[in-house]
């Protein structure tokens, strides 16, 4: 017996809506992300002042910010369920896969929103930030964010079952996302230097394969995390 | 009456490589009720969770059959309603929201009046727009009953059913118990003798057995 | 077993001898001479140790992932013992690889660390091993520990290839690529190749021998901790 596809989508959407409503109401992750953005941008602005910064540094710094923002905010979907005991309620209501995808969707959208805001603020606030190909820039931001959110979600599901989560999350995530980060930093740098929209085509291919690979692995593996 | 049957054979659960209980077996069909008794720590809640497919057993099997069709472990939840102290509600949502959100995640879709009916049955209809964080423990327990009962499950699992309930709440609980008995199976895990006597059959878990002992499940009839 | 150990001992000793003693000359006249590889000269000798060490760290990881998958399907704790033992040994070999690589880097390119793709990937492998054990220590129950560790190993296994194979294609590497290289050509002569592959085989055998010992210890330890509670 398998779940019908339209039922699956409806339930994934239901999980997504629950998480979204919960977040809008409690604002745990949103607050953490807001404070994080504010603090880090201030620190960076303070340290750079009016110095001109090479393009590669901008790209790298931006993605470091996005990575650490992801580390502050993306584990909450799973951790709150475990800590509050509501995970049992979910286990009595549905199977593993729609729960994972509902939360994945939530994390992807949360991180996309954060990346957009962070990038806009970053570009306004820091001197010497210029983008040659806006299309390329947006594509790399999008792909990098989706990849980062995907990896962060499955690792978040993993650590929700362990102790010492705070330090464990970046420690586990960093080796997993490093290939993604290196590739997307390169793609973003190219987007800032080269006006051709497809100059970073090789990098896009790598990013897309990464997204496919990590999502395929997550799909296969989540069931084992879910089952006790 | 749902054509439901649950068979449990040779169930054992280990924690830290030591068995909490072993060799638990029983067989129930629609209309039967079972009490699982035993002192604290004897594994009553663990056994209930295994029946609900929330935990895997270390040995043995649980088999649920509906209308002659065996239900795979993965889909057990569809036929189970559970009330337990370790089952928590979403405190940031209202009573009504808890019902609607969980309902949608289950894939069902009751009407607004059906939700109100459910809440009225547990005397919470006037607090339906209040956030669960503001509820007393008795009200939360009643809401858990509403959630468990919403889809008229074939198997109702109650862990310490009268926790936090006032006399009115206990009456509601007993009404649900009786209705479910006419509809399917009830399994109750409890320390309270008053709860245990409601059931036809009883199993006693006597705690961690010494190494080498044959088993701990004893079926007592009434 | 004793015979195997003896053969392994002799084999590796022979490899080490050849690696260190065979002269490196511009014109090859004798069978036991190595050619000069431009840019490396005497430093090329570390090839016989560093590359097999790197190779075995990856082998350790692959074995670990293999048993991780086995564990998830079988739920037999022995598979998890195999997986974590492979990882522990892989961690050791990985640390040694990073160390020897760092030394080589200092002598060849002037600094201990350069962030070229190969260096980065072995560093990431080290991080993965570290994270794997950090995760294990953060969980108390055996079966949960085994499940979560297995899941992490698999996720890491999926993303590692990206670093190992995709990155060097995109970014220019400082690493000499004397064996299989789409751009360069093989510049080791047959003697060197023989010694090199012997070293590879020897180190791999060494890994599996130590692994079998480690496995025995781990299993005994597990039995002891189950019995004496």
Residue C71's pLDDT is what? Answer: 96
Cβ distance A90 to B105 less than 8 Å, yes or no, reads yes
Residue B133 lies in a domain: no
Residue C41's pLDDT is what? Answer: 67
Q: Would you call A200 helix, strand, or coil by DSSP?
A: coil
DSSP symbols for B44-72: HHHHHHHHTTSS--SEEEEEEEETTEEEP
Quickly state the pLDDT bin for B140 (edges 50, 70, 90): very high
Average confidence (pLDDT) over C183-204? 75
Residue B193 lies in a domain: yes
Interface probe with A: pick from B15, B107, B144, B155, most Cβ of A within 10 Å? B107
Residue C163's pLDDT is what? Answer: 78
Are the C-beta atoms of residues A149 and A155 closer than 8 Å to each other?
A: no
Average confidence (pLDDT) over C134-161? 93
Comparing CB atoms, the residue among A161, A174, A180 nearest residue C127 is A174
Structural domain containing residue C81: 50-197+205-228
Residue B211's pLDDT is what? Answer: 43
Token couple for C73: 């399907």
In this model, does residue B217 exceed pLDDT 50?
Answer: no
Average pLDDT taken over every residue of chain C? 82
Cα separation of A59 and A187, whole Å? 9
Cβ distance C142 to B18 less than 8 Å, yes or no, reads no
Comparing CB atoms, the residue among C156, C158, C166 nearest residue A206 is C166
- Residues of A within 8 A of B151 (CB-CB) are none
B34, B177, B201, B217, C57 from B222: Cα distances, Å = 11, 18, 6, 16, 65
Please indicate whether residue B14 or residue C181 has the higher confidence score (pLDDT): B14
- Lowest mean pLDDT across A87-96, A129-138, B78-87, B139-148: A129-138
Residue C150 lies in a domain: yes
A156: closest chain C residue by CA: C152
Are the C-beta atoms of residues B22 and B59 closer than 8 Å to each other?
A: yes
Residue C38's pLDDT is what? Answer: 64
Cβ distance C141 to B17 less than 8 Å, yes or no, reads no
Average confidence (pLDDT) over A65-86? 92
Are the C-beta atoms of residues C150 and C83 closer than 8 Å to each other?
A: yes
H-only helix segments in chain B: 44-51, 95-106, 112-121, 137-149, 167-181, 193-196
Which residues, at least 6 apart from A171, have a Cβ–Cβ distance to it below 8 Å? C130, C131, C134
In this model, does residue C228 exceed pLDDT 70?
Answer: no
Cβ distance C229 to B16 less than 8 Å, yes or no, reads yes
Are the C-beta atoms of residues C61 and C128 closer than 8 Å to each other?
A: yes
Please indicate whether residue B214 or residue C197 has the higher confidence score (pLDDT): C197
Cβ distance C229 to B17 less than 8 Å, yes or no, reads yes
Residue C44 lies in a domain: no
Average confidence (pLDDT) over B167-183? 88
Cβ distance A162 to C138 less than 8 Å, yes or no, reads yes
Are the C-beta atoms of residues C97 and C107 closer than 8 Å to each other?
A: no
Comparing CB atoms, the residue among B54, B80, B101 nearest residue A18 is B101
Structural domain containing residue A223: 5-227
Average confidence (pLDDT) over C3-28? 80
Please check whether residue A91 touches C, CB under 8 A: no
CATH code for the domain in which residue B21 is found: 3.40.50.300
Are the C-beta atoms of residues B176 and B198 closer than 8 Å to each other?
A: no
In this model, does residue A123 exceed pLDDT 90?
Answer: no
Are the C-beta atoms of residues A14 and A102 closer than 8 Å to each other?
A: yes
Cα separation of B15 and C141, whole Å? 8
In this structure, the dihedral spanned by the alpha carbons of residues C19, C22, C23 and C29, taken in order and rounded to 10 degrees, is: -130
In this model, does residue A2 exceed pLDDT 70?
Answer: no
- Lowest mean pLDDT across B122-131, B204-213, C173-182: C173-182
Average confidence (pLDDT) over C150-156? 96
C222: closest chain B residue by CA: B17
Cβ distance C141 to B16 less than 8 Å, yes or no, reads yes
Token couple for A87: 């995970």
In this model, does residue B208 exceed pLDDT 60?
Answer: no
- Residues of C within 8 A of A71 (CB-CB) are none
pLDDT digits (tens, 9 = 90+) for C49-79: 888 898 899 999 999 999 999 999 999 999 9
Average confidence (pLDDT) over A122-151? 90
- Lowest mean pLDDT across B27-36, B131-140, C2-11, C32-41: C32-41
Quickly state the pLDDT bin for C4 (edges 50, 70, 90): confident
Residue B170 lies in a domain: yes
Q: How many distinct structural domains can be found in chain A?
A: 1
Cα separation of B120 and C75, whole Å? 46
pLDDT digits (tens, 9 = 90+) for B98-119: 999 999 999 888 898 999 999 9
In this model, does residue C171 exceed pLDDT 70?
Answer: no
- CA A167 to chain B, closest CA, distance in angstroms equals 26
Q: How many distinct structural domains can be found in chain C?
A: 1
Token pair 């910010």 is found at: A65
Closest CA to A133 of A187, A66, A76: A187
Residue B142's pLDDT is what? Answer: 93
Closest CA to A151 of A215, A87, A62: A215
Strands of chain C, DSSP E: 24-25, 34-35
pLDDT digits (tens, 9 = 90+) for A12-26: 999 999 999 999 999
Residue A3's pLDDT is what? Answer: 67
- Lowest mean pLDDT across C60-64, C131-135, C198-202: C198-202
Residue B112 lies in a domain: no
In this model, does residue B216 exceed pLDDT 50?
Answer: no
C129-145: b or e for each residue (b if 16 or more CB lie within 10 Å)? bbbbebbbebbeebbeb
- Residues of A within 8 A of B102 (CB-CB) are 89, 93
A97, A202, C130 from C152: Cα distances, Å = 18, 28, 12
Comparing CB atoms, the residue among A7, A84, A91 nearest residue B88 is A84
B52: closest chain A residue by CA: A92
Please check whether residue C27 touches B, CB under 8 A: no
In this model, does residue B48 exceed pLDDT 70?
Answer: yes
Are the C-beta atoms of residues B186 and B33 closer than 8 Å to each other?
A: yes
Residue A119's pLDDT is what? Answer: 93
Residue B73 lies in a domain: yes
- CA A225 to chain B, closest CA, distance in angstroms equals 12
Residue C218: Cβ-neighbour burial (10 angstroms; 0-12, 13-18, 19+): middle
Residue B213's pLDDT is what? Answer: 34
- The ipTM is 0.92
- CA B15 to chain C, closest CA, distance in angstroms equals 8
Average pLDDT taken over every residue of chain A? 90
- Residues of A within 8 A of B54 (CB-CB) are 88, 91-92, 228
Most confident range (mean pLDDT) of A6-10, A185-189, C163-167 is A185-189
Residue B93 lies in a domain: no
Average confidence (pLDDT) over A208-218? 96
Cα separation of B16 and B22, whole Å? 14
Closest CA to C114 of C166, C165, C58, C171: C171
DSSP state, residue A168: H
Please indicate whether residue A81 or residue C109 has the higher confidence score (pLDDT): A81
Please check whether residue A11 touches B, CB under 8 A: yes
Average confidence (pLDDT) over B48-76? 92
List residues bridging with B185 in a β-sheet: B155
């Amino acid at each position: 017996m398998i779940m019908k596809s339209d039922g699956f989508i409806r339930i994934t959407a239901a999980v997504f809506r629950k998480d979204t409503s919960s977040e809008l109401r409690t604002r745990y992750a949103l607050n953490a992300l807001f404070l994080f953005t504010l603090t880090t941008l201030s620190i960076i602005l303070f340290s750079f002042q009016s110095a001109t910064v090479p393009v590669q540094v901008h790209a790298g710094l931006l993605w470091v910010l996005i990575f650490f923002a992801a580390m502050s905010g993306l584990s909450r979907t799973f951790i709150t369920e475990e800590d509050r005991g509501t995970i049992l309620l979910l286990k009595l209501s549905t199977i593993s896969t729609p729960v994972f995808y509902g939360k994945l969707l939530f994390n992807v959208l949360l991180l996309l929103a954060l990346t957009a805001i962070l990038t806009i603020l970053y570009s306004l606030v820091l001197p010497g930030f210029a983008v040659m190909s806006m299309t390329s820039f947006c594509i790399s931001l999008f792909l990098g964010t989706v990849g980062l959110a995907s990896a962060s979600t499955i690792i978040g599901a993993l650590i929700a079952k362990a102790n010492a989560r705070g330090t464990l999350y970046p420690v586990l995530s960093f080796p997993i996302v490093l290939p993604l980060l290196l590739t997307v930093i390169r793609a973003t740098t190219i987007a800032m230097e080269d006006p051709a929209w497809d100059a970073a085509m090789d990098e896009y291919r790598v990013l897309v394969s990464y997204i496919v690979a990590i999502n395929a692995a997550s799909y296969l593996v989540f069931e084992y995390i879910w089952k006790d | 009456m749902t054509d439901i049957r649950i068979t449990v054979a040779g169930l054992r659960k280990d924690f830290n490589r030591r068995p909490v209980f072993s060799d638990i077996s029983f067989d129930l069909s629609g209309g039967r009720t079972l009490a699982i008794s035993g002192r604290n720590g004897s594994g009553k809640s663990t056994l209930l969770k295994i029946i609900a497919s929330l935990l895997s057993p270390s040995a043995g099997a649980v088999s649920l059959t509906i209308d002659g069709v065996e239900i795979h472990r993965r889909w057990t939840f569809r036929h189970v309603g559970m009330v337990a102290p370790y089952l928590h509600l979403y405190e940031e949502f209202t009573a009504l929201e808890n019902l609607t959100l969980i309902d949608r995640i289950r894939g069902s879709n009751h009407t607004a009046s059906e939700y109100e009916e459910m809440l009225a049955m547990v005397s919470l209809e006037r607090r339906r727009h209040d956030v669960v964080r503001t509820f007393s423990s008795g009200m939360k327990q009643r809401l858990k009953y509403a959630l468990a009962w919403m889809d008229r499950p074939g198997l109702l699992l109650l862990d310490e059913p009268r926790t936090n309930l006032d006399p009115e709440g206990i009456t509601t609980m007993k009404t649900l118990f009786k209705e479910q008995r006419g509809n399917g199976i009830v399994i109750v895990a409890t320390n309270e003798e008053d709860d245990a006597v409601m059931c036809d059959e009883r199993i006693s878990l006597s705690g961690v057995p010494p190494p080498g002992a044959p088993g701990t499940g004893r079926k007592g009839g009434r | 077993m004793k015979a195997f150990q003896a053969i392994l001992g002799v084999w590796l000793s022979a490899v080490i001898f050849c690696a260190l003693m065979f002269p490196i000359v511009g014109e090859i006249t004798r069978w036991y001479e190595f050619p000069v590889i431009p840019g490396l000269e005497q430093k090329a000798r570390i090839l016989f140790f560093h590359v097999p060490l790197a190779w075995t760290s990856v082998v350790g990881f692959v074995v670990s992932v293999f048993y991780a998958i086995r564990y998830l399907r079988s739920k037999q704790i022995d598979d998890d013992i195999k997986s974590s033992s492979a990882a522990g040994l892989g961690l050791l070999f990985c640390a040694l690889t990073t160390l020897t690589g760092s030394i080589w880097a200092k002598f060849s390119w002037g600094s201990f660390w350069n962030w070229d793709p190969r260096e980065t990937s072995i560093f990431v492998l080290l991080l993965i091993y570290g994270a794997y054990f950090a995760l294990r220590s953060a969980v108390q129950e055996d079966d949960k520990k085994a499940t979560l560790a297995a899941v992490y190993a698999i996720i890491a296994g999926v993303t590692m290839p990206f670093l190992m194979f995709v990155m060097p294609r995109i970014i220019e590497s400082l690493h000499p690529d004397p064996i299989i290289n789409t751009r360069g050509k093989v510049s080791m002569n047959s003697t060197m190749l023989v010694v090199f592959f012997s070293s590879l085989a020897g180190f791999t055998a060494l890994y599996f021998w130590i692994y079998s010992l480690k496995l025995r210890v781990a299993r005994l330890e597990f039995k002891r901790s189950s019995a004496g509670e």
